[in-house]
Amino acid sequence: MSTNATRQQESDATTTELPTDPNAVTVAETGAGLLVFVEADRPGKELAGFADVADWSVIRDALRNRGLGVGATTNLPVFDIDEIPQ
């Protein structure tokens, strides 16, 4: 008997550290926290996580408005505000 269970495989490639170069990190203020973006492997930026979050529903709305999935709120790290390069 077979099942259609999806296997999850953990990756060692995931990192929760931000680049130290301030030019490689961009933040977007949502009014209830920060969306933290980093330089992507391809041209552009990718969402790396969040910082200083006061209201997750506002964060989810900000993600939807940018065409990003709200699942990121459960999958990406929350950085301490001091971890974001100035």
As a whole number of angstroms, the distance between CA 12 and CA 73 comes to 20
The residue-averaged pLDDT of 51-67 equals 96
Q: Which of 2, 54, 47 is nearest to 30 (CA)?
A: 54
Condensed to tens digits (0 to 9), the pLDDT of residues 14-29 reads: 457 888 888 899 999 9
As a whole number of angstroms, the distance between CA 72 and CA 56 comes to 11
Say yes or no to pLDDT of 66 above 50. Answer: yes
Q: Which residues pair with 49 in a beta bridge?
A: 36
As a whole number of angstroms, the distance between CA 42 and CA 23 comes to 16
Q: What is the pLDDT of residue 22?
A: 87
Say yes or no to pLDDT of 52 above 60. Answer: yes
